[in-house]
Structure 1
């Protein structure tokens, strides 16, 4: 259950990076003024999405979410303005790409909220306690084989630790690294640097 949720969060991180990267390219279909604004906003947006995957407290997470929503509104207003001024199939393509950017962020957030239900934790705990009690009742020569009988409780504890750790996307040891978003950020920075170098007179 927790592994499936972990894989889902990884897939959405990849989908989010792909959607942002595609929209960064499609922004060239917009009028030059809107295109420049969208690219600048997407550059900031990628930074916020990378921060989303970092380990932080609840207050910092709220600030990141707030800033993300502000950038989404600004991005949508830019493409909406262009669509109203110059309605065309190419502008519609850029609007569709921006819709994908916003949707993938929503899917990612929903996946991070989707945790193992509390009832499932209670059930697993009851099963673990019952299993350990059965081992204890069936023990013979416990004093002579204490290390052997400790293996089962230790294994149960490690299993619970791993499940809880994987099911905690914002904390713990096993976390999702935003590799695709970081790679996208580097590509955007390289493109911006090349544009600046081409536009600089020699």
Structure 2
């Protein structure tokens, strides 16, 4: 499965890592400015202000673009959970309309499927749960196909449509959660522009003896917080922001009541 480079890193490591990286970039610019006589002779402090403003504007645009991608993907994952729960619930009800020879097995397989989908959310080895989901797809398809061949009618036709949609939604959830991520090229570009921005600010600070960290540190902390938020939204299984599974949990409880 395609995963983000940030998936295996604790979220607070990402935050402090970005803060340290930006401080290093600022210090590099400051030291270059303080130690290089050529820069002070060729560059006027006033000319750096438009450059810094342009870099900050470009950085803000890229961060807004990246944030919009992350939030859209997060919303999409939430929507697919609801759609999948609704479709499984529909299939579970429609199972009552097919021959009793197949109804019991189909309902049992659907209960197992919901259990598997919920386990996959917090599983340390999600691939095993996804393989189990595919196995259940095949078993469900075999049962409803047999029911349709044995007694073709509108009820079995609707059941086949429901199972087919469950299979489609499984693929959509896997694609949205594990494959559709913010591209590595965007992360590299974002960090590169951030590094250049802080380096340029450091160069400007070097024209005066004080570093001016009191003004720079809040900017670094804010930037690190927003970048960490984007990284967290881009991680479907770990982090502070997780897609709620309440619709699937409610469905699981209703199914369990039906067994009793």
> CA separation of 1:28/1:13 partners in 2, compared to 1, >3 Å: closer, same or farther?
same
Q: Which runs of 5+ in 2 are unaligned?
A: 1-68
Which residue among 174, 179, 186 is the counterpart of 2:246?
Answer: 179
Which residue is 1:71 aligned to?
A: 136
Which residue is 1:83 aligned to?
A: 148
> CA separation of 1:173/1:142 partners in 2, compared to 1, >3 Å: closer, same or farther?
farther
Q: 1:164-187: per-residue Cα shift (whole Å, max 9, x none)?
A: 111011222221121110011011
Tell me, yes or no, if structure 1 residue 16 matches structure 2 residue 81.
no
Which residue is 2:181 aligned to?
A: 115
8 Å CA contact 1:22–1:97 kept in 2: the answer is yes
8 Å CA contact 1:28–1:35 kept in 2: the answer is yes
Q: 1:44-74: per-residue Cα shift (whole Å, max 9, x none)?
A: 10001111222x32xx211111111111111
8 Å CA contact 1:53–1:177 kept in 2: the answer is no
Q: Find runs of 4+ consecutive structure 1 residues off by over 4 angstroms.
A: none
**CA apart distance, 1:142:** 6.6
> CA separation of 1:142/1:100 partners in 2, compared to 1, >3 Å: closer, same or farther?
farther
8 Å CA contact 1:132–1:152 kept in 2: the answer is no
CA distance in 1, matches of 2:237, 2:135: 22
Tell me, yes or no, if structure 1 residue 51 matches structure 2 residue 119.
yes
SS in 2 for 1:53: helix
> Highest relative contact order (Cα 8 Å, sep 6+), 1 or 2?
2
**CA apart distance, 1:149:** 1.3
CA distance in 1, matches of 2:127, 2:121: 13
After TM superposition, the score normalised by the length of structure 2 is: 0.70
Which residue among 94, 99, 112 is the counterpart of 1:31?
Answer: 99
Which residue is 1:133 aligned to?
A: 199
- Equivalent positions of 1:151-162 (< 5 A) are 151-162=218-229
Which residue among 230, 235, 251 is the counterpart of 1:163?
Answer: 230
Deviates more, 1:28-37 or 1:153-162: 153-162
Tell me, yes or no, if structure 1 residue 103 matches structure 2 residue 171.
no
> CA separation of 1:15/1:142 partners in 2, compared to 1, >3 Å: closer, same or farther?
farther
**CA apart distance, 1:144:** 6.9
Which residue among 70, 73, 76 is the counterpart of 1:5?
Answer: 73
After TM superposition, the score normalised by the length of structure 1 is: 0.89
> CA separation of 1:89/1:142 partners in 2, compared to 1, >3 Å: closer, same or farther?
farther
User: Could you say what the CA RMSD is over the residues aligned between the two structures, in angstroms?
Assistant: 1.5
8 Å CA contact 1:2–1:166 kept in 2: the answer is yes
Q: Which runs of 5+ in 1 are unaligned?
A: 194-202
